[in-house]
A and B are shown apart, each in its own frame.
Chain A
Amino acid sequence: MIAEFGLAALWLAAALAALQLLSGCLSLTEKGQNLALLVRPAAVIQAVLCAAAFGSLLLLFARTDLSVLLVAMNSHSAKPMIFKVAATWGNHEGSMLLWVTVMALAGGLIALIEKRLPERTMLATLGAQAFVGLGFYAFLLFSSNPFERLSPPAEQGMGLNPLLQDIGLAFHPPTLYLGYVGLSVAFSFAVGALLTRNVTPEFARVMRPWILGAWIFLTLGITAGSYWAYYELGWGGWWFWDPVENASLMPWLAATALLHSASVLASRDALRTWTIMLGVIAFSMSMMGTFLVRSGILTSVHAFAVDPERGSFILALLVLNIGAALVLFALRANTISEGQQFRAVSREGALVINNVALSAILGIVLLGTLYPLLTEAFGIRVSVGPPYFNPVSAIFAVPMLIVLAVGPMLRWRRDSLGRIEKPIIAVILAGLVGIIVAFSLGGIELLPFIGIVLSLMVAVGSVLPLKGRSLRRLPLAVWGMVIAHLGIAVALFGMSADSAFTQQTLVAASPGDVAKVGPWTITLESVDPVAGPNWTALEGRMAASYRDEPAQRIAPQSRTFWAPPQQTSESALLTRWNGQLYAVIGNEAEDGRWQLRLWWKPFVTFIWYGGIMIALGGLLALMGRVSVDLRRRHAQRRIEQRHEGYVQ
């Protein structure tokens, strides 16, 4: 019953999306104005129905209802509850249902609360949101039905990929999806504004919280995903420039650019077309990411060609949505004026450089991700990896980071570098200190070297805007900017330090043997079998001491899951303020010794601290913006009330 209820709710939600699209479009015409009344309620009811469908699927997974194909394929009755629930979105159909649910909820929310824009723009926006949503409903209902029954029911489920049975990963996809889909709202606003030729600072203010919210989730999702890859894959790498990772990085890059250009539009009424363009691109990148991950094209272009139904469907949606938006943009862009003018040396000028550099990096990541897929389709296989992405994106990242160090101190519209001479000198001094320190340590390669120097410059530059201002009266949004920029410096430092200073030791050891890695001395004490709810493992018990400090115990495991059968390495980490010890136990060699992999990774944790700071900065900015908006609304209402009283 639950499965049928869920499917019915999904069909109804799709029908309401169609209603929302039709009434939204028609209400923009002369004759159809009455239909405007339908648009907002349709969006809200659609959200409720879609949430009900997703709730049904959650319930089916929680109960491990094996008469449902999707549950039988992806779950197992012996799994811990948390992973039963997480299995709901740990598969294709479930994750697409999560996608439309988030999208429907976002649409319902703007329909409920957003009253600041002209009503025509709102109707066009909700229509656009329904247009995108409808495509995904069709995808679910026609080619990825999550509620399909299995008859007769399976006796036992197939289980969830053990790599995914991890608490960090349970929440990674929903976080990313909130980000991906949050950008759909920015997209719909951009389309709505284009359709009604209404690109104003107010429009940017309305759009900004959505961009910020999506961006926070994307930042958290990428940070968490990178940390998960780091500790779960067992080789100490934290970013592989893997297409799946790039799929989450590309929307982030676009959203970061969009965030900054929307700020310019909101504060200065400049960069109008840029902002619209980036709004379209940001969500296009989200859909591109979904296509890459969901179509199966990454496993192999050939796998995609063999079973092209789903992939083609998403590709068609991608082309339809992006194509339509770009055509609309091309038709309308020249009717939107550029907005206010500004000089080269100004806050806007710095933000233009930020936008252009981020867009260029986005272009490179897109090229490096898609090019191998493209050539593979023609039978030529090339690999594009870190040796390409790192230096090529650095070409644009370096100037961007230099501008980031001084840009926030510039004034809007016009300024001179002479006015901020002292801060510039401070930033340059920080860079010099970085150069001297990095040189004295010696043996650092070019990119990590530049990274360390730039991280110091950005760190100093990012806190300088606080100088001479009352910290208690500083707006939250400014705090947000400072903390996010500082987070960039912290993460960059972590990345550079990890690649410059990491030390690795691979040894074969018997119990009692001692191994050294960097400042650590590690003794393998014993190797013992242990068992978990759905796995057994061999656990290497070790004592690790940092220089002369007392030893701490760590116990990496080599786990064997039985449903589905698979082996994973559970690394053990010891975190200090200045880095992490990373220990993995591998297989037993013929001579009875165990393979140990040990790394000392100085300051590697800064990568994720930085990521969290960036997200926190976004959160503060969001809180600041929303509270200012609420206060403004409140004040306006009081003025209106007073005015009414006066008239009476």
Chain B
Amino acid sequence: MKRLSIFVIVLATLGYGQVALAQDSLPPAPYAYRQLDDPQQEHEAEELMESLRCLTCQSQSIADSDAPMAGDMRHQVRTRIAAGESPEHIRQWLMERYGDYISYTPRMSNDTWPLFAVPVLLFLGAGLIVWRRIGRRSGKDSQ
């Protein structure tokens, strides 16, 4: 039942489909399955890859997918990191190209503010419930 259709291609738009198909016919990019020599850089690359969505898979990051497109993106990330680009800069670049959807780390924006507001409300609400259930009563008891 889980991930019933991991390999079901989730092509949101025809545009993505063309990108994926075009890249399928090319040989795999060299850094798709190869690590960077500098462990510090490789660590940075891995961290970034884990937070980027594989656009042709269902709920997998590009760091854990066999899809050709994920491989190409790993190659992109590694070569750019090796060229000295910062991970956040690469993320920006990818988000400009593919939209916010590609990043698993939501940014605060007009579309995403509830993701940040609700936890704050939950925190306040949780605090309030604990205070009402426990705090006030113990105050009353201690008199």
What is the interface of chain A, defined by CB distance below 8 A to chain B?
89-90, 95, 161, 163-164, 169, 172-173, 176, 225, 228-229, 233-237, 240-245, 293, 298-300, 302, 341-345, 349, 352-353, 356-357, 359-360, 363-364, 367-368, 371, 375, 380-388, 392, 395-396, 414, 504-508, 566-567, 569, 586-587, 589-590, 595, 597
Contacts and interface: CB of A to CB of B under 8 A. Distances in A.
Given A299-B58, A352-B133, A363 B122 contact: yes
Given A245-B2, A382-B101, A382-B112, A299 B65 contact: no
Nearest 7 pairs of A and B residues by beta carbon? A385-B104, A235-B64, A242-B59, A344-B138, A381-B101, A387-B105, A344-B134
Contacts, number: 165
B35 A367 contact: no
Contacts of A395: 119, 123
Nearest to A226: B2
A85 to B, nearest CB: 15
B53 interface: yes
Nearest to B42: A504
B10 A299 contact: yes
A95 B1 contact: yes
24 contacts: A161-B4, A164-B1, A173-B1, A234-B66, A235-B60, A240-B60, A240-B64, A242-B59, A299-B8, A302-B12, A353-B134, A356-B129, A364-B119, A367-B114, A371-B114, A381-B12, A381-B100, A383-B53, A384-B104, A384-B106, A385-B105, A388-B106, A508-B34, A595-B33
B111 A506 contact: no
A229 B3 contact: yes
B34 A506 contact: yes
A353 B111 CA distance: 32
Interface residues of B, number: 53
A383 B63 contact: no
B108 to A, nearest CB: 11
A220 B142 CA distance: 44
Contacts of B46: 504
B2 to A, nearest CB: 5
B126 interface: yes
Given A381-B99, A382-B100, A386-B50, A300 B28 contact: no
A388 B27 CA distance: 34
Contacts of B97: none
Contacts of B19: none
Nearest to B64: A235
Contacts of A586: 33, 66
B10 A300 contact: yes
B56 interface: no
A339 to B, nearest CB: 12
B123 A300 contact: no
Interface of B: 1-8, 10, 12, 27-28, 33-35, 46, 50-51, 53, 58-61, 63-66, 99-106, 111-112, 114-115, 118-119, 122-123, 125-126, 129-130, 133-135, 137-138, 141
Contact of B118 (A342, A367, A569): A367
A383 B103 contact: yes
Contacts of A414: 141
Contacts of B33: 506, 508, 586, 589, 595, 597
Contacts of B6: 163, 233
Contacts of A161: 4-5
Nearest to B136: A344
A387 to B, nearest CB: 4
Nearest to B33: A595
Given A388-B115, A504-B35, A356 B126 contact: yes
Contacts of B58: 242, 298-299
A172 B1 contact: yes
Nearest to B8: A299
Nearest to B98: A381
Contact of B137 (A169, A242, A298, A344): A344
Contacts of A89: 1
A567 B67 CA distance: 11
A236 B130 CA distance: 39
A385 B64 CA distance: 14
A385 B141 contact: no
A396 B126 CA distance: 9
Given A367-B115, A597-B33, A244 B3 contact: yes
Contact of A388 (B10, B63, B105, B126): B105
B78 to A, nearest CB: 10
Given A299-B8, A341-B137, A229 B2 contact: yes
Contacts of A344: 134-135, 137-138
Contacts of A590: 27
A341 B140 CA distance: 11
